[in-house]
Amino acid sequence: MVRVKRGNVARKRRKKVLFLAKGFRGSHSKLFRIAHGQVLKALRYSYVGRKQKKTQFRQLWITRINAMTREFCSLEYSNFMSKLKIAKISLNRKMLAQLSILDTMTFLSLKEKIFI
């Protein structure tokens, strides 16, 4: 049988895994075998996290809009959104949340538009 030397390939593979494991605590970033398992786990979590991020931001925007509508418009979130649809004002939740924080006067002008 012919001898196979894998020096370069194996070293590159290990270096890649250890590079991805940078910043992990203790031996999770130093020892290849442990780091490899942690990198696989971290990549799984990052995939799931990218999906969860969208849901969490939507929840944050809804919370911010709800707080403003209850305080200034004396409406609940769902009623406010339905009145916006009836008035044919098509602003997404992200923009409404930004308006509620950064430009309160514009947000209040929306209130006047939906009650007309």
Q: Is residue 79, in this structure, part of any structural domain at all? A: yes
Contacts of 43 (CB under 8 A, 6+ apart): 20
CB 55 within 8 A of CB 90: no
Mean pLDDT for 60-79 is: 92
Q: Which of 12-21, 60-69, 71-80 has the lowest mean pLDDT?
A: 71-80
Q: Is residue 100, in this structure, part of any structural domain at all? A: yes
Mean pLDDT for 66-90 is: 91
Mean pLDDT for 56-66 is: 96
Query: What is the Cα–Cα distance from 50 to 80, expressed in whole angstroms?
Result: 29
Query: What is the Cα–Cα distance from 33 to 83, expressed in whole angstroms?
Result: 58
Q: Is residue 92, in this structure, part of any structural domain at all? A: yes
Give the structural domain span for 88.
8-114
Q: Is residue 2, in this structure, part of any structural domain at all? A: no
Among 47, 45, 101, 49, which residue's Cα sits nearest to residue 71?
101
Q: Is residue 96, in this structure, part of any structural domain at all? A: yes
CATH code for position 109: 1.10.1900.20
Q: What is the number of domains present in the chain? A: 1
Which band of pLDDT confidence, cut at 50, 70 and 90, is reported for residue 54?
very high
Helices (H) and strands (E) in the chain, counts: 5, 0
pLDDT at 50 over 80: yes
Q: Is residue 25, in this structure, part of any structural domain at all? A: yes
Tell me what pLDDT residue 116 has. 67
Q: Is residue 110, in this structure, part of any structural domain at all? A: yes
Q: Which residue stretches of 26-72 are H helix?
A: 32-68
Find the radius of gyration of the CA atoms of the chain. Answer: 26
Q: Is residue 1, in this structure, part of any structural domain at all? A: no
Mean pLDDT for 61-90 is: 92
Mean pLDDT for 13-26 is: 96
Mean pLDDT for 32-41 is: 97
